[in-house]
Amino acid sequence: MRKVAVATTSQLAADAAAEIADAGGNAVDCAIAAALLTMNTEPGVCALAGSAFITIWAEDGDPLTIDGNVAVPGAGRQNVDVNDGVQSLWMDYGGGVETLIGAATIAVPGSLAALELASKQFGASSWRSLVAPSIRAAGRGFPLSSACHHYLQYSGKAIFSRSEDGFDALHNSDGTLKNPGCNIVVPHLADSLQAIADEGAQIFYRGDIARKIVQHVADRNGLLSRADLEAYTPIIRPALCTDLADWRIATNPPPAVGGTVLSAMLLAFRDCNFSQWSEAALQHLIDVQHATLNYRAAKLDTSADIENATRALLAVAADGQLISRYASASTVHTSAVDNDGLACSITASSGYGSGEMPAQTGIWLNNCVGELELNSKGLDAGPVGARLPSNMAPTVARSREQTLAVGSPGADRITTAIHQFLIGFLQMNMSLQQAVQHPRLHFEIRATPPRIVCEPGMKFAATPFDVHPFDKLGMYFGGIGAVNYSTRDGFSVAADPRREGATFVSR
């Protein structure tokens, strides 16, 4: 009998996965159902009209990643004054962030197309059954999570007041933000999801929902066109693989940069023999993060040839030269593994949100063109159809007896969170939960001056960098969701205490 384990963002999402597992679904089905639910019940943090990467590894096949990343819009759109469709915004969120919002920041969404492709090629359940839990949650309403409430305290009025339906769903009649746990009903969302269940993703890209999205964007001087939506296709790529200890680790390949950065940091630890997070291990971690993130800022984020730049990073990491040569917001994640050895890891994002919601859809649109910490070129993002940069790094790994799926939300902390988890679990032999709960650090390469931020309990030697300690574990450092299946010991699952999350294991 097939059994499945899942780690995801909320109890609602875990319940959705359990429903699909009880009906005979596999790990991919369960991950899709949970991911769809999180995309539609985490307002502000994520939304359906954004991006997703899906890394899948079947026991009898090679690991692959489905690239459902957002793309540069503008096919067939001419003489559009995009300056009238954009607004610059500074928020105190996460220590301060500048982003662009409005219709001109909306990229071509890819998440729904990627999820449908994963379902068709790797799932065992019907598409309609995978969407059903999200339809029910949207119709009945869902509780506002504390993670969403935290972000909406900064963005609720600044961003999510741009749509009357969206604002009313999140705010009380007096205009104040609803409290955590309050029931949220987004008008028309259940109807849109029902149409997507009945007709598939084509209604979003070529049908009535597409028409409403395109009209909304055009009326507000954005670039997203009907031709953009009709031309969008998710891309299946071989996963980027790295060996560590007795494991092969597969993650998101170029042109996304998150998987490459993660792989480089893993390579820099490959020949180390640290058995715990000692002072020496933490110093090496600082050096590796500093070097890798510095390389990224100097080479990857501004490169016109991302493929060659990522290959160069992996080469210097593999030959041990990384440290000597280069040491100078908003996502959801689901991991699933079944006892057939099928692993699936899905990370999704809609940026900070454009605040735009086409009438009678209930669907918030992304602002990924305006997510400046990833896309430093802003509205001049590149050729139409090109994939935008991404930190997302959904990861699966396999040893002789074990299969692991792991990932994290957390903007540029995604890779450093996953890296520290993998070193703890795969190399230091921590339990899954110990590796998830262990304190983390992150090197803020873009801070002025660069600094180390860390959680309590990290004891490292004197460093020339400024150190900013947090007073408790916090969602700033990601939210790891991990599932492992051992042919000897069965399932183990862990959801990060830093962020609301839930797990499910078949009985």
Q: Answer yes or no: are the C-beta atoms of 5 and 506 closer than 8 Å.
A: yes
Residue 322 is assigned to a structural domain of this protein: yes
Is the pLDDT at 496 greater than 80? The verdict is: yes
User: Residue 378 pLDDT more than 90?
Assistant: no
Q: Does 302 score more than 80 pLDDT?
A: no
Would you say residue 102 has pLDDT above 70? yes
Q: In this predicted structure, what is the pLDDT of residue 388? A: 83
Instruction: State the residue range of the domain holding 89.
Output: 16-236+338-370
Co-location of 205 and 247 in the same domain? no
In a domain, 223, yes or no: yes
pLDDT, one tens digit per residue, over 437-466 is 999 999 988 778 888 999 998 887 788 888
Q: Which amino acid is at 66?
A: I
Strands (E), 382-480: 395-398, 402-407, 441-444, 451-454, 466-469
pLDDT at 167: 93
Q: Is the pLDDT of residue 400 over 90?
A: yes
Do 251 and 115 share a structural domain?
no
Q: Does 278 map to a domain? A: yes
Same domain, yes or no, for 84 and 187?
yes
pLDDT tens per residue, range 166-191: 999 999 999 999 999 999 999 999 99
| Total domains in the fold of the chain | 2
| d(C-alpha 496, C-alpha 15), whole Å | 17
- Within-domain flag for 390: no
Q: Do residues 255 and 174 both lie within one domain?
A: no
Q: CA-CA distance, 222 to 248, in Å (whole number)?
A: 43
371 pLDDT tier (thresholds 50, 70, 90): confident
43: left (phi over 0), alpha (psi -120 to 50) or beta: beta
pLDDT at 386: 86
Instruction: Examine residue 435 and state whether it is found in any structural domain, yes or no.
Output: yes
Residues 206 and 312 in one domain: no
* Assigned domain for 363 exists: yes
Q: Do both 324 and 365 map to the same domain? A: no
* Average pLDDT score over residue span 235-248: 94
pTM score above 0.85: yes
CB 323 within 8 A of CB 288: yes
In a domain? residue 106:
yes
Q: For 289, phi and psi rounded to 5 degrees?
A: -60, -45
Are residue 164 and residue 110 in the same domain, yes or no? Answer: yes
* One domain for residues 349 and 325: no
Same domain, 105 and 215: yes
Q: Which residues pair with 490 in a beta bridge?
A: 486
Question: According to the model, what pLDDT value does residue 329 have?
Answer: 46
> For residue 343, what is the enclosing H or E element?
strand 343-349
Q: Do 173 and 251 have their domain in common?
A: no
Q: To 10 degrees, the CA torsion angle through 250, 252, 254, 258?
A: -110
Residues 54 and 137 in one domain: yes
CATH of the domain at 307: 3.60.20
Could you tell me if 306 and 232 lie in one domain? no
In a domain, 3, yes or no: no
